[in-house]
Structure 1
Amino acid sequence: MKGRLEIVYRTPKGAEVAFTSEEMTAAKALLMAEDLQKSGRLKQAIFIDRSEHEWTTIQLKAYLEEIKTEPHNITVYFDGGFDINTRKAGLGCVIYYEQNGKKLRIRKNALVAEMETNNEAEYAALHLAIQELELLGAHHLPVMFTGDSQVVINQLEDEWPVMEKELTSWLDKIEGKLKEMGIQPEYKLISRKNNQEADRLATQALNEVEVTSQSEWK
């Protein structure tokens, strides 16, 4: 969870001033607030998440303690590759997350048939990632979804209209599942160069090389 920290600081002579931080993680915000409290001059500290929900430091500490054993700080990379001759698509996704004090990674790909376009393959890759999130037990938290398809990312963000029937079907399926899981999606467009891991998995799937793995990373 990310948001901003709003604090009211009191000087030794009683003057007060309010500050608003840049966006940061909840863990960093709590660390900053607790450090300021040690000075004895912090009058108030409120964390405001991206949904404009306000958290006291006590509530924020309880929340961070609660999610330690659950998947959190999740970032998903997805990519789809399409073979126009066979109408097959290779889907690849990588999920980075934290759980029980460890940084973990899931890598998954799949080969599917009867695709129409590369954009449909991209949507199918995102749907594969969401299925993996469901198996992981991720729910009721923000998730960053990262891909290199400008069309798909802009459609997911409602910046571009969805005209194709098959893409509308995928979009409805994805949004329905995210709502069911309580996932608050954020979308980020990156270059193909920065999406190499998911791209490689998609290519491996097209070459009928199946990958399913979970590992710790640093």
Structure 2
Amino acid sequence: MNIRIELTYRTPKGTEASFTSDEMRASKALLIAQDLEKSGRLKKISFTDHLENIWSLKELKKHLEEIQTEPHDVKIYFDGGFDLKTKRSGLGCAIYYEQNGKSLRLRKNALVEELDTNNEAEYAAFYFGLQEIELLGVHHLPVTFIGDSQVVINQLNGEWPAYEEQLSNWADRIEAKLEELGIQPEYELISRKKNREADHLASQAMNEIEISSVIELDE
């Protein structure tokens, strides 16, 4: 979760000033806030998340303690490939998250044969990633979904309408699952070059190379 710090600082002679920080990871904001608190010159402090919810220092500390043992700070890179000749699709997702003080990455792919277009494969890859974080136990947290499909990203964030029935059905299915899990989605459109990891996983699936792994990442 990214948040802004909003604080009022008071000098020893009583001069006060208010400051608002740039967005940063909640864990980093907590460390800064606790350090400022030790100075004895912090008059007031609060934290604002991306939904404009306001947290007190006590609330933020409790929240971070509660989620430490659960997957959090989740980012999903997704990609889907489709072969018109064989009607086979490859789905790939790379999921980055924090848990128990560790940075982890899950890589997974799947081969499916019931889709009809590349856009459907992209939607299916998104849903595939969503299913994987459900298995991880992710719920009631913000999650960033990252992909190179303008259709999927722009339709899910509401910028583009979904006229095709198949794609509209996928969007409805995804939104229902997001609501069920209490996930607050954030969408990020990137270039195909920057999405190579998920693209490679999708290509491997189409070549019948199954990938399923979780590793700890170096800081």
TM-score grouping bracket, smaller chain normalisation: over 0.9
Residue in 1 aligned with 2:87? Answer: 87
1:20-31 pair list within 5 angstroms: 20-31=20-31
In 2, distance between residues paired with 1:135 and 1:159? 30
CA RMSD, 1 decimal: 0.9
Task: Give, as a single letter, the amino acid of the residue that structure 2 aligns with 1:66.
Answer: E
How many equivalent pairs are there? Answer: 218
Residue in 1 aligned with 2:10? Answer: 10
TM-score (norm 1): 0.98
In 1, distance between residues paired with 2:7 and 2:87? 56
Residue in 2 aligned with 1:44? Answer: 44
SS of residue matched to 2:68 = helix
1:48-127 pair list within 5 angstroms: 48-127=48-127
SS of residue matched to 2:133 = helix
Runs of 4+ in structure 1 deviating by more than 3 angstroms, as ranges, are: none
1:139-150 pair list within 5 angstroms: 139-150=139-150
Task: Give, as a single letter, the amino acid of the residue that structure 1 aligns with 2:139.
Answer: H
Residue in 2 aligned with 1:32? Answer: 32
1:48-82 deviations in Å (ceiling 9; x for gaps) = 11122111111111111111100001110000001
Residue in 2 aligned with 1:194? Answer: 194
In 1, distance between residues paired with 2:217 and 2:30? 25
Residue in 2 aligned with 1:207? Answer: 207
How far apart are residue 114 of structure 1 and its match?
2.6
How far apart are residue 150 of structure 1 and its match?
1.3
TM-score (norm 2): 0.97
Task: Give, as a single letter, the amino acid of the residue that structure 2 aligns with 1:83.
Answer: D
Identical-pair percentage: 64
Task: Give, as a single letter, the amino acid of the residue that structure 1 aligns with 2:138.
Answer: A
Task: Give, as a single letter, the amino acid of the residue that structure 2 aligns with 1:196.
Answer: R
Task: Give, as a single letter, the amino acid of the residue that structure 2 aligns with 1:133.
Answer: I
Task: Give, as a single letter, the amino acid of the residue that structure 2 aligns with 1:189.
Answer: L
Residue in 2 aligned with 1:154? Answer: 154
Residue in 2 aligned with 1:170? Answer: 170
How far apart are residue 192 of structure 1 and its match?
0.9
How far apart are residue 215 of structure 1 and its match?
1.4
Gaps of 5+ in 2: none
In 2, distance between residues paired with 1:8 and 1:33? 11
Task: Give, as a single letter, the amino acid of the residue that structure 2 aligns with 1:215.
Answer: I
SS of residue matched to 1:159 = coil
How far apart are residue 101 of structure 1 and its match?
1.1
